[in-house]
Structure 1
Amino acid sequence: MAFERVRNLRPVKRYRSERYVLISLVAFAFTVVVVRGALKLTGYPQLGGDTIHIAHVLWGGLALFGSSLLLLIISNRWALGLGAILCGGGVGLFIDQVGKFITQSNNYFTPAAAPIIYGLFLATVLVYLQVRRPRSGDTRGEMYKGLEQMSGVLDHEMSRHDLGVLQRRLERLQATAEEEAVRGLAGAMLAFVMTQRPKIVEPQPGRVQRLLVRVRCWASRVFTRPRLHIFLVLASVALGIYAVLDMALLAFLAVAPASGATEFLRSLISLGELQSLQDKIWFSIRAVLEGGVGVTLLAGGALMGLRREWRALGIVVVGLVVELTVVDLLVFYQDTIKALVGIAVQCVLLVAALAYRRIYLEDEAEEAGQACAGAEEEFAEALLGAATDPLAAGRVPS
């Protein structure tokens, strides 16, 4: 009797994979910024002799190969973190030299390189956001994650949070899995976890974790709700005014005749942006997008000042996302420094808006929902009492 081989190759999301994608993302951005800054400060030195030039793209490839070998050979949990760092750093070293591979003259400084680097960074951010989204796990995926977490039990080092997650996952599998073999395996794993629990110690926080804790404590003391509210109002309005005035200035220079005043204004604009004025189509696209974002931020800041916070933050977040994902790509091609400064300011405002919404508004909405649910329960109980005892409900107190 011939047996048919069963293949189930559907991918399963790794436990806490979003953490490793975030590590790669940070390493990628950090590598590009450090390499570009170091080369500019040192005058773009070359490693090699008269005929040999060892470009840092080779070190990037070596880091990528090393991360692949590390993850193929070693199954310890720390290998994932180190592999993520090597992967992000390797990609950063590689993509930093993309200008040499897209031009006939191997031009490292071609203006097209910056938007390509930024576009890859944005694509990685989208991957991170997609991976970060919670998904309902099936039995197979939950068992994968449970087996992966068991390495912490074997190492006798695991946080109480992760240990609780593992215990609840195994209890759920033991109770709900359809196959009896899976329920038995989950029960055996749960029994092993409970016997090893007294031996498991909490991992000691590293320097980075301790620093993050201090930063959170400092931020909670300094950035109170009134201060953060004022910052969001002022920053949204200021950024909106800047975007509108910037587009108005460029539009004026595109149509104004040459004069002493226009020459002075042209001296304030970078060469790349002045050259972009000749391309009417791309300049019109940028003007519409950036001007629209400016108006959006102004509207969001005004609504924030009027205490219509939910709608205001929604408008501000949409405007900043459009600015970061579309407008900044166009600006990168024309003025890299201006784009980098703008991205830094926009990211600060975006983080502040998301933090304000998560810390204050969502908590208020949850409390209001709980109060509403409590009122509904009391109303339902009153109706039930009236239905079961109509005489008592209609009795007039003496």
Structure 2
Amino acid sequence: MTPRPTTPQATDQKTSAVKTLPHNYDRAALARFEVFLFASVATVLVTRGYLAAMGYPQIGGGGLHVAHVLWGGLLMAVAIVMTAITEGSRIRARASLIGGIGFGLFIDEVGKFVTSDVNYFYQPAIAIMYVVFVLFYLIAREIVIRRGMNDRHRLAIGARALSDLALGQLDKVHYHHALRVLDGIQDPELADLAGSIKTGLHSHTPTGDGVESRLTNWRNSVSTRLDAVLGHRIVRRIVLALFIVEALGSIATAVIALFTKVEIVAEDVSDLVVLLSTATSTILVILGVWFLFRNRYLRALRLLRASIVISLLVTQVYLFTQDQFGALTGFVLSLFMLAVLRVTIRTEEAAAEAATDRSLEVRH
């Protein structure tokens, strides 16, 4: 049976729990960026898999060829226009998805634009895409987390929540998150404005008759059911068991390779990157399982999540150059495991936050 702490406090040290509170950075912004990035990676994989399966067909005739980079540009333009002419956080989330698909179609044809013979199959093109995806992830995540949130940023988040409430797009999770963020404002000059926004959040309730409200209610219903499935104890234990098996298998493989002196050879850059990224993911999995058995549940989950992110952003992309359409199986499995981990981490962070709040109430 997978180790599991019996109380929220056991998820990690109290100081670590405080650092995970959603007050410290804009989680919605980071979530939108991750949707954009993973949609881009998925689009590259699906596009190359489809083209390989269909024998690389061409759209057009009579000397014309409609490259999918054009569809990518069109989708990115649609995403930009959506955010320019409409209101609401829900639109920004949809624009992140559409823009990510568009960027994936765009970057997939980078080989054509860095070679004189317009070579779609240019081998280093995968390396270029890898560098772009990884730099995007590292830089954007660092900016969102490290910049934190000042009082005016908190005020803006609250104001956006009030706008979403008026549009019928605000769900309970973001509603309570906005109130917690507003409670963190310390500048006395902004206290009155923050109070007015909180009053609006408490007093105004949309009719629920609008299209956006119905779409939000439907999305919330689907999201709640999906989270319930992904966060179910059995599903969580299956995923953690897979990680444990992977860790044990990796250790056994390393021991066998050590005693049999197996020589590992990387024939090209793609093999080398797959080897290094796989080794990094394996180390993170082993560390995650180690912390799991030491009842450092939240830290273990974050390490396991990091291993999946590396697999999605690096290993799967490079494996696709070798396995083509077959790489989709590994990508879908990794995406499923990441979704389970994200739901579980969110639940644990909420439990840690609730425990911290209770502790503060007792002290006062």
TM-score, length basis structure 1: 0.61
CA contact (8 A) 1:59 1:90 kept: yes
CA contact (8 A) 2:164 2:170 kept: yes
Cα distance between partner residues in 1 of 2:165 and 2:342: 36
**Secondary structure, counterpart of 1:53 in structure 2:** coil
Aligned with 2:65 (options 53, 56, 67): 53
Q: Does 1:185 align with 2:193?
A: yes
Of 45-54 and 73-82, deviating more is 73-82
CA displacement at 1:54 relative to structure 2: 1.5
Aligned to 2:245: 234
Which amino acid is 2:129 matched to? Answer: I
Cα distance between partner residues in 1 of 2:290 and 2:55: 48
Percent identity between the two aligned chains: 22
Cα distance between partner residues in 1 of 2:307 and 2:49: 26
Deviations 1:65-112 (A, max 9, x none): 222233223334443133212211110110111111222221111221
CA contact (8 A) 1:47 1:53 kept: yes
Of 134-143 and 46-55, deviating more is 134-143
CA contact (8 A) 1:159 1:203 kept: no
Of 38-47 and 335-344, deviating more is 335-344
Q: 1:244 to 1:54 in 2, by over 3 A?
A: farther
Cα distance between partner residues in 1 of 2:302 and 2:81: 45
Aligned to 2:162: 150
Cα distance between partner residues in 1 of 2:43 and 2:322: 21
Deviations 1:148-169 (A, max 9, x none): 2221243355323433444455
CA displacement at 1:236 relative to structure 2: 1.5
Aligned to 2:204: 196
Which amino acid is 1:233 matched to? Answer: I
CA contact (8 A) 1:236 1:301 kept: no
Q: 1:353 to 1:246 in 2, by over 3 A?
A: farther
Deviations 1:342-382 (A, max 9, x none): 66666667777787788789979x98x99xx89xx9xxxxx
Q: Does 1:101 align with 2:88?
A: no
Which amino acid is 1:113 matched to? Answer: A
Aligned to 2:52: 40
CA contact (8 A) 1:240 1:298 kept: no
Deviations 1:324-355 (A, max 9, x none): 49983995597354876666666667777787
Aligned residue pair count: 332
Cα distance between partner residues in 1 of 2:166 and 2:87: 13
Aligned to 1:391: none
CA displacement at 1:177 relative to structure 2: 2.9
CA contact (8 A) 2:36 2:101 kept: yes
Give 5+ residue unaligned stretches, structure 1.
1-12, 255-272, 378-398
Larger Rg: 1
**Secondary structure, counterpart of 2:122 in structure 1:** coil
**Secondary structure, counterpart of 1:108 in structure 2:** coil
CA displacement at 1:126 relative to structure 2: 2.8
Cα distance between partner residues in 2 of 1:356 and 1:167: 23
Of 95-104 and 125-134, deviating more is 125-134
Cα distance between partner residues in 1 of 2:174 and 2:281: 44
Aligned with 2:36 (options 5, 24, 27): 24
CA displacement at 1:233 relative to structure 2: 2.5
Deviations 1:147-198 (A, max 9, x none): 222212433553234334444555665xx4333xx44434444444444248
Cα distance between partner residues in 1 of 2:45 and 2:29: 25
